[in-house]
């Protein structure tokens, strides 16, 4: 069964450093998402992306965050200058259709900011 | 907030028993979805119920939706130890976002 893959599974970085989290969505999917989950808390929406544009973003997704689909397969989340509070599990998801159809999630990247 | 809120936060049952989890939300929705998350893993979609549906079944799962009460329930029948996981409801609204609740942590003891 096709799946969303995320790399790396765990990223450790120093505060103030830039990180790029990588995702390969399911190949025929058109809609892409990033969510994050701070340990023990709920899964929070960050951003949705369609047709090479951001469709929606949350208040968490400030100027420190950016997303890109650099080629036909990858979807990346960049955090320019990481803060301690950015430590979380980051999940990428994709869907074939928009409009709130079911999302397929990757296994996540655990980001630890020291 | 329009996000779903699950109840209870934690549920512990014996294998073979049924597990019922509830979700409430605040705004009008297009659909409501339930996801499962095993510890440290990604979320897996279980079932989607649209705003014009009242009940839906998938295997041992039964979901109901009451839009007048802005609530949904997920019933897992004949639970197994492998059902141990966190269960989240998520609501999609016209804003274009799928928003998750806090989740119910289900523990099924063998």
pLDDT at A31 over 60: yes
User: What does chain B come to in residues?
Assistant: 110
Between A45 and B95, the higher pLDDT residue: A45
pLDDT tens profile B56-81 = 999 999 999 999 999 999 999 999 99
B61 interfaces chain A, CB cutoff of 8 Å: no
Set of chain B residues whose Cβ sits within 8 Å of the Cβ of A102: 33, 45, 48
Check CB contact under 8 Å for A35 and B100: yes
B96 interfaces chain A, CB cutoff of 8 Å: yes
Q: How far apart are the C-alpha atoms of A96 and A30, rounded to whole Å? A: 5
Residue ranges of chain B with per-residue pLDDT less than 70: 1-4, 93-95
Residues above pLDDT 90, as percent of chain A: 86
Closest to B36 (Cα-Cα) out of B109, B99, B100:
B100
* Amino acid B1: pLDDT: 43
Q: What pairing do the DSSP bridges indicate for beta strands B10-14 and B104-109?
A: parallel
* Amino acid B93: pLDDT: 66
Check CB contact under 8 Å for A103 and B95: no
């Amino acid at each position: 069964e096709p799946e969303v893959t995320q790399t790396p599974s765990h990223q450790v970085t120093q505060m103030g450093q830039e990180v790029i989290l990588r995702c390969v969505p399911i190949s025929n999917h058109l809609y892409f998402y990033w969510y994050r989950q701070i340990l023990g808390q709920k899964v929070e929406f960050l951003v949705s992306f369609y047709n090479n544009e951001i469709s929606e973003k949350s208040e968490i997704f400030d100027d420190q965050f950016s997303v890109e689909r650099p080629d036909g397969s990858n979807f990346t989340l960049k955090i320019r200058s990481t803060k301690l509070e950015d430590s979380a599990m980051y999940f990428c998801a994709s869907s074939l259709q928009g409009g709130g159809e079911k999302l397929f999630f990757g296994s996540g990247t655990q980001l630890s900011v020291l | 907030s329009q996000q779903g809120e699950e109840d209870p936060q934690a549920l512990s049952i014996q294998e073979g028993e049924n597990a019922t989890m509830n979700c409430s939300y605040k705004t009008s929705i297009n659909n409501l979805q339930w996801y499962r998350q095993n510890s440290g893993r990604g979320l897996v979609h279980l079932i989607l119920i649209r705003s014009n549906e009242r009940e839906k079944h998938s295997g041992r799962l039964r979901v109901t939706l009451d839009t007048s009460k802005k609530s949904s329930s997920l019933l897992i029948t004949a639970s197994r130890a492998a059902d141990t996981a966190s269960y989240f409801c998520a609501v999609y609204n016209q804003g274009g976002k799928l928003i998750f609740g806090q989740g119910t942590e289900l523990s099924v003891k063998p």
